[in-house]
Chains A and B, each alone.
Chain A
Amino acid sequence: MSASEKHGKPEIKPFWSPLAAGIALGLVLLLTFVLSGHGLGASGAANDVVAGVGLKLAPEATRANGYLGPMVADGSPIGSWMTWEILGVAIGALVAAFMAGRFRVQLDGARSVGTPARLISTLAGGFMAGLGARIAGGCTSGLGLSGAAALGISAFVFLALFFATGLIVSRLVKGV
């Protein structure tokens, strides 16, 4: 028993090595292709939620919208594969964090940049990522990871610009 366990706090287990995590992620991605015919994703679930909630709250405007309209033509996309998958991500992450003693409720970044600045940086970051994912037709998971595993040219263009811009912006703005 470690010192931290004696004091009643669960021991914080280390993260997996990048090689081990990468192999595991690659096998999960391969299983996903074999089962579903496509890769993993994340921003697609936000897309389905926006279309589904839009259909509930403002059905006329949603059906008339050039982008959301075709998505809701056959009913609400909530309940799609992607929405179930993102619910699974939540469950999997929760189980992993609890099992490793890494679950802690916090506003991460509040101490380093201050609470107001952190709320703005994370909201602005989410907005840019959400908008960018829709422009590209996928995010880091759906286009960068899954698209590259399918050897799509656009995935490598996405990753190159993702890396270059992130490198520059992280030097200009301290968000966390």
Chain B
Amino acid sequence: MFPLNDNGMLSGLLCGILFGYVLENAGFGSPVKLSAQFKLSDWAVFKVMFTAIVVAAVGLWLLRLAGVMKPDSIAVPQAALMASAAGGALVGAGFAVGGYCPGTSVAGLFSGRLDALVFIVGVILGTTGFAVFYGTALTSLKAAWLIAEGDTFTEVYAVPELVVLAVLGLALIAVFHFGSSFERRGTGTVTAQQAVEGAR
């Protein structure tokens, strides 16, 4: 029965190597490619993310259905909605300004980008800042809009999991449809050649 709950070195290295390999091949080591998502000229970030979310979510559902994966056995983030909103806004702003997020900055650095190294220094400083100023203000943020009944739409609002998956599937189609339409009207998506040459 899965999951194996293997949190050892080899499990971490294997998942990480595959993750980094896919991130770079998607073009996500390039801040030009990444920040083009917010300029709406290249929708690769949301197309890749939504496809991955649907593939993994449907895969998990099928594995549970087949009895291979134990029910309620994977980590689901706590429904601390205020903290998620505030943090999401800050990560979005950091992505728009810096051109990376924490994971893609590692892909950026290891495809040769020194600005990604400076971004990582910023991430370390931001993390340290959080720890230094950790106190009642930050813990009350975590407690605000906290849904105590559960963490998923199924647990809290009794929406069947199949309905949630179907809505996600429709959202995926919408992201590809509207994204591609924006890409056709804009300056074109960022090619590997343009990404390697760097921002101009």
- Residues of A near any B CB (own CB < 8 A): 12-16, 18-19, 21-43, 46-47, 49-51, 54, 65-68, 79-97, 100-113, 118-119, 121-141, 143-155, 157-167, 169-170, 173, 175-176
Contact = CB atoms under 8 A, between A and B. Distances in A.
Interface string B77-94: 111110111111111111
Closest CB pairs A-B (n = 10): A125-B98, A88-B16, A126-B122, A136-B87, A22-B51, A26-B55, A130-B126, A132-B90, A92-B20, A84-B12
A149 B128 CA distance: 29
Given A108-B115, A136-B83, A152 B100 contact: no
A128 B97 contact: yes
A96 B24 contact: yes
Contacts of A141: 19, 101-103
A144 to B, nearest CB: 7
Given A18-B48, A50-B131, A68-B131, 12 more contacts: A67-B134, A83-B12, A101-B196, A105-B114, A109-B198, A122-B98, A124-B98, A129-B94, A131-B90, A133-B91, A144-B91, A161-B85
16 contacts: A19-B51, A21-B22, A25-B26, A29-B55, A36-B11, A51-B131, A100-B24, A109-B199, A119-B115, A124-B94, A125-B99, A128-B122, A130-B127, A132-B92, A149-B56, A170-B39
B6 A36 contact: yes
Contacts, number: 560
Given A81-B11, A164-B92, A90 B109 contact: yes
A85 B48 CA distance: 20
Contacts of B111: 93-94, 96-97, 102-104
A160 B91 CA distance: 11
Given A12-B193, A100-B25, A85 B128 contact: no
A54 B121 CA distance: 15
Interface residues of B, number: 133
User: Which of B19, B79, B132, B134 gathers the greatest number of chain A CB atoms within 10 Å?
Assistant: B19
Contact of A25 (B52, B88, B114, B135): B52
A99 B28 CA distance: 16
A130 B138 CA distance: 15
B75 A38 contact: yes
A95 to B, nearest CB: 6
Nearest to B28: A21
B43 to A, nearest CB: 7
A68 B130 CA distance: 10
A80 B8 CA distance: 8
B145 to A, nearest CB: 9
A126 B105 contact: yes
A123 B130 contact: no
Interface string B160-200: 01001000000000001000000000000001110110111
